[in-house]
Amino acid sequence: MKNLFLKTLCLSAIIVYSKGVSAQIDAASFIRAGKDDAGKLIGAYLQPITKGLASGVNDAWYSTAKPLGLFGFDIRFGFGASIVNNDSKTYTLNGIGINSDPNGKFLLTPINGDRNTNQPTIVGDGNGSKLAVSALNPIDNSRIYIDTISSFSGTNSPVSLGAIPFFQVSLGLVKGTEIMFRMMPIQSSDFTSSGFGFGIKHSISQWIWGVDKLPIDISGIYTFNNNSLTYAFGNSFLDADRYSPNALATSEYKNSQKLTITTSGHQFGAIVSKKLSFFTPYAGITINSATSQIAMKGIYPIQSIRENSTTHLAEKFNDNITDPISISNTVNSTRAALGFRMKFLLFTFGAEYNHAFSTDQFNTFNAIFALNIQQLSPIPKL
């Protein structure tokens, strides 16, 4: 069988800085567990990915509270990661509600371990239980063996995906106002990406009597970000069993099957910073909301059991299912940020840590590299 879903997910993870993921899970076996249970299994296994992406989508928009001066600009590249907590490294079959209907069309039975045995998520450690998949015989309600789902392997990683690599352009306007635009340009033969983001930073300290005299900068910020990554399975697509009825043309499966990852989020809050020569430490407090989704799109053939209309015996057939998996995660949290920026002539480097005051969201860290000119009017200021 073809390693489909996680093979491609892991490849996308490698592209966005993740350590080499070796977990290999057979998508056909996933889906043969039945659409509902397959969604539960994949959702639990990939929860650190969806939660990590939602946790990091609002990261790395700023590296100082001081807005750019008039027509000053900043061109930056950034990326980040989410710090995984222990609760996101394991799950149990009972805990995610597998086989909630024991008389359902498909049944999963652990071959080693039981339904309360801890299974690793994608960032967990070790291998999980193998699961036998059986389908309901419509003739006599007996069970017919279909397949065995391979063990779920963990990568034993302390981090998950966070801020997907991006380019950002910022421009200084009048009255201590800075506008920001973000994009995520990744393009290859199999991968395509699209995304946009925008934000605004405005000096608050200039409007507060007395605060404008202090040797610090205080600004308010609002940002919105939305991006998507699509991987076409190409020659790794899942084809039908040509010995079973109801198979569609191979091209229908190949041309439709793909993996999509979408993330969106927004935040608003305040930042304070203090410039010390080439070094600028800063802190921020923001209210965040974000959603991420991983989905398998297209038509997928699933082996199932039905009654043959001529012989009235049970037979296997290809049950073609469209868009079988969609896993989403939403986080809402207040976060505190601590970071710094170092500037050497026109170039800057910065790093930041974000602490979430909610278990709905991972803590994150990120880094940025930028070309920065603070002001172009009336005279350049480096």
Q: What is the DSSP code string of 188-207? A: -SSEEEEEEEEEEEEESGGG
95 three-class SS: coil
Residue 161's contacts (CB-CB under 8 Å, 6 or more residues apart) are 13, 16, 18, 49, 52, 53, 56, 81, 82
Residues sharing a CB contact under 8 Å with residue 24, sequence separation 6 or more, in sequence order: 3, 6, 7, 150, 153
CA distance 229 to 164: 10
Q: Please give the pLDDT value at position 100.
A: 64
Q: Are 29 and 130 in contact (CB under 8 A)?
A: no
Amino acid, res. 27:
A
Phi-psi sector, 86: left (phi>0), alpha (psi -120 to 50), beta: alpha
CA distance 185 to 166: 7
CB neighbour burial string for 156-183, b if at least 16 within 10 angstroms, e if fewer? ebebbbbbbebebebbbbeebbbbbebe
Angle formed by the axes of helices 35-45 and 47-56, nearest 10°: 60
Residue 291: C-alpha distances to residues 83, 105, 226, 371 (Å): 17, 32, 10, 30
359's torsion region: left (phi>0), alpha (psi -120 to 50) or beta?
Answer: alpha
What is the pLDDT at residue 197? 95
* Amino acid at the residue 102: P
How far is it, in rounded angstroms, from Cα 265 to Cα 199?
12
pLDDT < 70: residue spans in the chain: 1-30, 32, 100-102, 151, 186-190, 378-382
Q: What per-residue confidence (pLDDT) applies to 281?
A: 97
Give me the amino acid identity at 139.
Answer: I
pTM of the model: 0.84
**pLDDT of 29:** 56
Tracing tokens 């910020």 back to the chain, one arrives at 221
User: In this structure, which amino acid lies at residue 220?
Assistant: G
Pairwise CA distance, residues 286 & 265, whole Å: 12
pLDDT for the residue numbered 379: 55
Environment class of residue 155 by beta-carbon count within 10 Å: exposed (0-12), middle (13-18) or buried (19+)? Answer: buried
